[in-house]
Amino acid sequence: MEVIIDTADINEIKVLDSLLNVDGVTTNPTIITRSGKTPEEALKEIIDYLKPEQKLFVQVVATDYDGIMAEARKINALRPENTYAKIPVSPAGLKACKDAKAEGLNVLSTSVYSSEQGFLAAVNGADYIAPYTNRMSNYGDGVQQVKDLIEMLRVQGLSSKVMAASLHNTNQVHELIKAGIQAITFPPAVLHAMIDHPGTKIAVDEFSESWEKAYGRNELGL
Ligand code: E4P
């Protein structure tokens, strides 16, 4: 499963990339505005930092077909490889996904709110499909919809990878890993909640305390 980080905060990217084997970074227009930088500055910092094999996903802002196609080409040209245009599954976006794939561009279909929409993006050849798990929960069972999408693509022999997005808690993550999700884009807060379990700190403090009490030092010292 690919581990992707859903942020444009370069400090968060560096911290999480040092802790884990990170496969890439996703952004969307709102995430880029939160960086407090211009899109050019925010993306340059990320591009300069990422290794060539780490993937970068940047979303189009245009909403009309021609604009989406032009931006998808620009995004793909940001780096020599491993860069994907995130295209929402609006009618114009679905059409752009089909034509961008025919042109050989890398595409992630985003803003997916149902397994059926995700299926259509897979029919159009999207490399990745990003269902908005938590947002979908406002319309039903978001996690179940994502599980259904994984299964729909498997039984239909469609090769798109499902990248779960909009995850707001570790339980959603747990369920989707178990279901065989191919990629997850993690908000840093959810990943930190998985990394920093309070029980682990209590256990480590207990070991340090007993060692220090018995041997008067806080290292193995053999
Ligand atoms: C992916 O990059 C999506 O845009 C993102 O996960 C959406 O998450 P949100 O529902 O927390 O805004």
Q: Is 84 in the pocket of ligand 1 (CB under 6 A)?
A: no
Establish if 214 belongs to a structural domain.
no
- CA-nearest residue for atom 8, ligand 1, is 166
How many angstroms separate the CA atoms of 106 and 83, rounded? Answer: 7
Establish if 211 belongs to a structural domain.
no
pLDDT score recorded for residue 51: 98
pLDDT score recorded for residue 63: 98
pLDDT score recorded for residue 137: 94
pLDDT score recorded for residue 222: 92
Which CATH number characterizes residue 91's domain? 3.20.20.70
Establish if 209 belongs to a structural domain.
no
pLDDT along the chain (222 residues), means of 10: 98 98 98 96 98 98 98 98 98 98 98 98 98 96 98 98 97 98 98 95 97 97 93
Q: What is the DSSP string of 178-189?
A: HTT-SEEEEPHH
Rounded-to-10 torsion of CA 96, 101, 107, 110: 40
Q: Which domain holds residue 79?
A: 2-195
- For the complex shown, is ipTM > 0.85? yes
**How many structural domains compose the chain?**
1
Establish if 204 belongs to a structural domain.
no
pLDDT score recorded for residue 215: 97
**pTM of this prediction?**
0.96
Ligand 1: nearest atom to the Cα of 26: 2
pLDDT score recorded for residue 211: 97
Q: Is 185 in the pocket of ligand 1 (CB under 6 A)?
A: yes
Q: Is 76 in the pocket of ligand 1 (CB under 6 A)?
A: no
**Does the CA dihedral 158-161-166-171 come out positive or negative?**
positive
Q: Is 109 in the pocket of ligand 1 (CB under 6 A)?
A: no
pLDDT score recorded for residue 43: 98
Establish if 133 belongs to a structural domain.
yes
Establish if 30 belongs to a structural domain.
yes
Establish if 208 belongs to a structural domain.
no
Bridge partners of 65? none
pLDDT score recorded for residue 174: 98
Ligand 1 centroid to residue 143 C-alpha, Å: 15
User: Does residue 168 come out as left (phi exceeding 0), alpha (psi in the -120 to 50 range) or beta?
Assistant: alpha
